[in-house]
Structure 1
C-alpha cells in the first residue's frame, strides 16, 4: 500500500547511488548476497536480544535490497539477479518471525507461527499470480521495473519493514504486531485471489475448444 509513495521518495537517490556503484564495478548480485547476509544477521541479533544491532542490520539489509535493483538497472538486468532478489527477500521475511520464536518460545512461538502462515499464503498467491500473468504475457510497472509481475496490496515491502522495526524497538509488543500484521497479510492474499478470479477468467468457448478432441484426419480415398 505504501510502496508506491516510498518508491517516489527513494528511487531517485537510489538510482544515483546505484549508477555510481556500477561505474566502480560493483555487481548487483554481490549487493544482493550482502543484503541476504545482513538480513540473516538481523534475525540472529533478534534471537540473541541484540536489538540495537538488529535494527542497524535491518536498515542495511533493506538498503542493499534497494541498491541491487538500482545497480542492475544501470548495468543491465539479468533473470538470475531477479530470481535471487525475490528468493532472498522471502528468506529474510521468514527469518525475522523465526528469530522472535527462538528468542522467547513460550510467548512468541504462536504469534510467529501465525505470521509465518500468513506470509506463506501471501507468498503463494503472489508467485502464482506472477506465473500466470507471465504465461498470459501481462506486464505491470505499478511498483517499478521488476523481474516478475507485482500486484499491490495492504501489506507490501514498506509495511513489512515498518512492522519488523516496531517489533525490534518494542519486543514486548511482538504478539500484537504479529497478529495485526498477519491479518493485513491474509487480507492482501484474499484480495489478490479475488483479483485473479476475475482477471484469469477463461471464455467458456475457449475452455470448450481446449477440451474437445482434435478432428480426425481425413480418410484417404482408394
Structure 2
C-alpha cells in the first residue's frame, strides 16, 4: 500500500548509487546475493538471541535489495536477475519468522501462522503476475519491476517496517505476528478478488 508513495523518494538516490556501483564493476546479481546473505545473517542474529542487533543487517539487506535493480537498470536487466531477486526475497521473508521460532519455542504457533500467511499471499502475488504477463499487462506504480507487481494492503514497505518492529519489540512477536498474518491473508483474498474481475 505504501510502496507507491515511498518510491519517488527512494528511487532517485538508489539509482544514483546503482550507477556508481555499476561503474565500479558491480553486477546486479552480485548485489542481490550480497543482500540475500546479509538478510540471512539478520535471521541468524535473531535466532541466536540478539534481535535488537538484527535490525542493522536486516535494513542493510533491504537497501541492497533495492540497489540490485538500480544496478541492473544502469547495466543490463535480465529475466534471471528478476527471478533470482524474487527467490531471495521469499527465502528472506520466510527466514525471519523461522528465526523467531528458533529464538523462543513459545513463538512457534504464531510463526507458523505468519509463514502460512506469507505462503498464501505469495501464491496470490506470483499467480497474478504470471497471468498479467500472459495478457501483456504492466505497471510501474511500485517502481520498475521485472514482473507484474500487483498492489495490495501489505507490500514491501509494510513488511520491512513490520520486521524492524519485531526486532525492536521481540517480546510482542506473538500478537504482532497474528495481526500481520491476518492482514496478509486479507491482502491475498483481495488480490484474488481483483484477479477474478480482471482475468475472467
Q: TM-score range by the shorter chain?
A: over 0.9
Check if 1:54 corresponds to 2:54.
yes
Task: Provide the rounded CA distance (Å) in 2 between the counterparts of 1:165 and 1:147.
Answer: 26
Task: Provide the rounded CA distance (Å) in 1 between the counterparts of 2:173 and 2:62.
Answer: 20
SS of 1:155's equivalent in the other structure is: coil
Check if 1:140 corresponds to 2:147.
no
**1:50 Cα shift?**
1.8
**1:25 Cα shift?**
0.9
**1:140 Cα shift?**
1.3
**TM-score w.r.t. length of structure 2:** 0.98
Find the counterpart in structure 2 of residue 95 from structure 1: 95
Alignment coverage as a number of residue pairs: 200
SS of 1:36's equivalent in the other structure is: helix
Find the counterpart in structure 2 of residue 175 from structure 1: 174
Find the counterpart in structure 2 of residue 26 from structure 1: 26
Structure 1 alignment gaps of length 5 or more:
202-222
**1:52 Cα shift?**
3.6
Higher relative contact order (CA 8 A, sep 6+): 2
Task: Provide the rounded CA distance (Å) in 2 between the counterparts of 1:61 and 1:155.
Answer: 19
Larger Rg: 1
Find the counterpart in structure 1 of residue 148 from structure 2: 149
Task: Provide the rounded CA distance (Å) in 2 between the counterparts of 1:63 and 1:156.
Answer: 15
SS of 2:138's equivalent in the other structure is: coil
Structure 2 alignment gaps of length 5 or more:
none
Find the counterpart in structure 1 of residue 159 from structure 2: 160
Q: Which moved more, 1:52-61 or 1:23-32?
A: 52-61
Check if 1:83 corresponds to 2:83.
yes
Which structure has greater helix proportion? 2
SS of 2:147's equivalent in the other structure is: coil
Task: Provide the rounded CA distance (Å) in 2 between the counterparts of 1:52 and 1:168.
Answer: 5
Check if 1:40 corresponds to 2:65.
no
Task: Provide the rounded CA distance (Å) in 1 between the counterparts of 2:193 and 2:64.
Answer: 33
**TM-score w.r.t. length of structure 1:** 0.88
Find the counterpart in structure 2 of residue 104 from structure 1: 104
Find the counterpart in structure 1 of residue 71 from structure 2: 71
Find the counterpart in structure 1 of residue 129 from structure 2: 130
Moved over 2 A (4+): none
SS of 2:146's equivalent in the other structure is: coil
